[in-house]
Chain A
Amino acid sequence: MRYLLLLLLSLNLFAVDASLKIEKDVEHRSRIALEDASSSANKQFFKILLSDLKISGHFLADTKHHRGDLSSNFIAPALKSKEYVLRYALTQASGTKLIVRLLKASDGKEVFKKSYAIPTTSKAPFLAHKAISDINDVLKYPSISWINRYVVFSRYTTAKQSEIILADYTFNYKKVIIRGGLNLFPKWADSSQKSFYYTSYAGMLPTLYRLNIYSGSKQKITSSEGMLVCSDVNKNGSKILLTMAPEGQADIYEMSSSGGSKRRITTFNGIDVNGKYVDNESRIVFVSNRLGYANIFKKSISGSGVSQVVYHGRNNNAVDAHGSKIVYSSRESQNSFGNNTFNLYLTTSTGSGTRPLTARGTNQFPRFSTDGSVVQYIKHSGNGSSIGYTNLNSKQSLLFPLGARKIQSIDW
């Protein structure tokens, strides 16, 4: 009897330990292999699928480009150690079609199947993003729908000339939306990415427009002597933060997105730029040289007090915010000319919990994803320029090469 009791107690201990293991496993990443069942293997498309799986933070993807039979449920013995096999077939003839099947590696049982079709071939990267985003949702991981979004950026072409371009987050897809003239600082106007704001230098004064990227309709919002930048848009798109200089002095203003009267938020007679909403849009963080060098400050939109947010670094000249999270770029070398080291730091609107996100190179233009889980940035190093992404939860990072031309501004 005593031994039976002892046995039952031991079983209890084992069961409790197994429960703890299950809690940990809920956060684990699914091991997955990709099998290309396309009639001709597409290495570039495979790499895009791999990037999506990696940056999600939810998958451990086999980096080998396996080949497979789309209709079969057979799983090769070498892949039985995975949890899932994603079998897909891409067809690009008068448009693009993608069929995906997600199979359990243990028994080949199909758990998800979907097909996607678009009339063009250039947008194929978006099919990859949509498929991985859908699979992520089916497996009930936190959403990664941000990978489906457009990135909009401007880059200089020659002196006083630029172009504004749409891209997918990997920059495999790119399309010039505005060419000719000097058009800068594109900023998405709405969460559905139908329109963006940008600054045009076509006239005497810098002028802010909102462009619908589907209809081409362009609405003038305001103009300003000196400079004019839309640095942030509130959540419902009804208000915008502007850096403008109606009297030749650059300050941060808030304005209704339909134009009209504006409210001046900063009044310092030096440089105040790059305003971003924080703390439920009751405050802004911004870059100012009021201490003699560029640094990050915070101010209530309706109040007058300004407080310093960052207490390290002597040149913190770019900032972005999401909720109460803040990411900024800090110069960490003292070269007057030539390349300097700029690293990105994550902190909060109270300046607490600061940690570095990068360790080397020139890292600038930090931008949060719409859900605040990923930071996008531009990295310059000896090997050229790249666009980078860091998943704040999984700490995974990805870099994609950029062309030679310098990016002026970016939003996603």
Chain B
Amino acid sequence: MMKKMIITAATLSLFLLTGCGQTAPDLNGSSNNISDANALTGDTVSINENTYGSESGGRNSSSDGFQSVYFAFGDYGISSGMENTISQNVNVAGNAGGKRIKIEGNCDEFGTDEYNYALGLKRAKSVRDSMTSQGINTSNMVMVSFGESNPTCTNSTDSCYGKNRRVDLRLIK
């Protein structure tokens, strides 16, 4: 009995001890002596879209007699202080001889990409809906959000941030 235990223990020890060994993956047998040259994929293009005539242009305020509408931080409702501005814009739109109006929503620099563009669009929509309620035909107005891409100023001041949280209006030529 004792003899059997010893033989079993010895055999077990042999197996377990030979299991100890390397601390890194075994590379024996891998044929890794490669010396070929490897090229990366082909060259990428470079496109200049200045040649395609940009509708967006560089105008970062209202034009054609319209006045910009301003908003509080994170907000897209028309404040009482802006109602007069909306009314004046309605007058300008009414005298535009049926020309279509572009309503551009903008934001300050805070927040991140998509959310900011959606916030800008909500502001544009608020202005559009307010003008519609005062008689301007919805189909005569087109909305676009420019998010934070179109600042009127770039200073790090509360005043400048406030100037950028706005909706611009202009006639579509």
Measured CB to CB, the residues of A under 8 A from B are 1, 4-5, 8-9, 11-12, 14-16, 18-19, 22, 25, 28, 30, 83, 97, 99, 110-120, 123, 126-127, 130, 138-140, 156, 158-162, 166, 175-185, 200-206, 211, 213-216, 225-227, 229, 231, 243, 245, 248-250, 270-274, 287, 294, 317-318, 329, 336-338, 340, 364-365, 406, 408-409
Residues of A within 8 A of B143 (CB): 225-226, 245, 248
Q: Quick check: A227 and B118 within 8 Å, CB to CB?
A: yes
Q: Quick check: B6 and A4 within 8 Å, CB to CB?
A: yes
Smallest CB gap from A287: residue in B: B115
Is B70 an interface residue when CB atoms closer than 8 A count as contact?
A: no
Q: Quick check: B112 and A317 within 8 Å, CB to CB?
A: yes
Q: Quick check: B9 and A12 within 8 Å, CB to CB?
A: yes
Interface size class of B (residues with CB under 8 A): 35 or more
Instruction: State the CA gap A254–B166 with chains docked (Å).
Output: 30
Residue from B33, B110, B146 whose CB has the most chain A CB atoms within 10 Å: B110
Q: Quick check: A15 and B149 within 8 Å, CB to CB?
A: no
Instruction: State the CA gap A118–B27 with chains docked (Å).
Output: 29
Q: Quick check: B142 and A225 within 8 Å, CB to CB?
A: yes
Q: Quick check: B32 and A112 within 8 Å, CB to CB?
A: yes
Give, as a whole number of angstroms, the nearest-CB distance from B4 to chain A: 11
Residues of A within 8 A of B170 (CB): none
Q: Quick check: A115 and B35 within 8 Å, CB to CB?
A: yes
Residues of A within 8 A of B97 (CB): none
Smallest CB gap from B122: residue in A: A271
Residues of B within 8 A of A231 (CB): 114
For the residues of A in contact with B, the DSSP-based class is mixed
Residues of A within 8 A of B80 (CB): none
Instruction: State the CA gap A181–B168 with chains docked (Å).
Output: 19
Question: Which residue of A19, A294, A408 contacts B113 across the interface (Cβ within 8 Å)?
Answer: A408
Q: Quick check: B37 and A117 within 8 Å, CB to CB?
A: yes
Q: Quick check: A140 and B38 within 8 Å, CB to CB?
A: no
Residues of B within 8 A of A179 (CB): 46-50
Give, as a whole number of angstroms, the nearest-CB distance from B2 to chain A: 6
9 interchain residue pairs of minimum CB distance: A15-B16, A180-B50, A8-B9, A181-B49, A216-B45, A18-B20, A273-B114, A117-B37, A180-B49
Instruction: State the CA gap A30–B53 with chains docked (Å).
Output: 55
Smallest CB gap from B72: residue in A: A336
Residues of B within 8 A of A99 (CB): 35
Q: Quick check: A110 and B149 within 8 Å, CB to CB?
A: no
Smallest CB gap from B50: residue in A: A180
Instruction: State the CA gap A273–B145 with chains docked (Å).
Output: 14
Q: Quick check: A182 and B54 within 8 Å, CB to CB?
A: yes
Residue from A28, A99, A158 whose CB has the most chain B CB atoms within 10 Å: A158
Instruction: State the CA gap A183–B145 with chains docked (Å).
Output: 13
Known A179-B48, A184-B149, A214-B44: A226·B12 in contact at CB below 8 Å: no
Q: Quick check: A5 and B6 within 8 Å, CB to CB?
A: yes
Is B161 an interface residue when CB atoms closer than 8 A count as contact?
A: yes
What 1/0 flags go to B137-173 for Cβ under 8 Å of A? 0000011111001110000101001000000000010
Residues of A within 8 A of B108 (CB): 337
Residues of A within 8 A of B35 (CB): 99, 113-115
Q: Quick check: B49 and A200 within 8 Å, CB to CB?
A: yes
Q: Quick check: A178 and B49 within 8 Å, CB to CB?
A: yes
Residues of A within 8 A of B146 (CB): 160, 182, 201
Residues of A within 8 A of B19 (CB): 15, 18-19, 22
Q: Quick check: A183 and B49 within 8 Å, CB to CB?
A: yes
A216-B47, A340-B110 are known; give 9 further A-B pairs, CB within 8 A: A11-B13, A110-B33, A201-B146, A202-B56, A226-B121, A227-B118, A250-B122, A365-B112, A406-B109
Question: Which residue of A5, A138, A181, A272 contacts B54 across the interface (Cβ within 8 Å)?
Answer: A181
Question: Which residue of A25, A119, A160 contacts B57 across the interface (Cβ within 8 Å)?
Answer: A160
Give, as a whole number of angstroms, the nearest-CB distance from A7 to chain B: 9
Q: Quick check: A364 and B112 within 8 Å, CB to CB?
A: yes
Question: Which residue of A15, A181, A229 contacts B56 across the interface (Cβ within 8 Å)?
Answer: A181
Residue from B25, B113, B161 whose CB has the most chain A CB atoms within 10 Å: B113
Instruction: State the CA gap A117–B30 with chains docked (Å).
Output: 23
Q: Quick check: A318 and B115 within 8 Å, CB to CB?
A: yes
Give, as a whole number of angstroms, the nearest-CB distance from B112 to chain A: 5
Residue from B13, B15, B57 whose CB has the most chain A CB atoms within 10 Å: B13
Give, as a whole number of angstroms, the nearest-CB distance from A215 to chain B: 7
Smallest CB gap from A245: residue in B: B121
Give, as a whole number of angstroms, the nearest-CB distance from A219 to chain B: 14
Instruction: State the CA gap A313–B73 with chains docked (Å).
Output: 18
Question: Which residue of A9, A22, A123, A158 contacts B20 across the interface (Cβ within 8 Å)?
Answer: A22
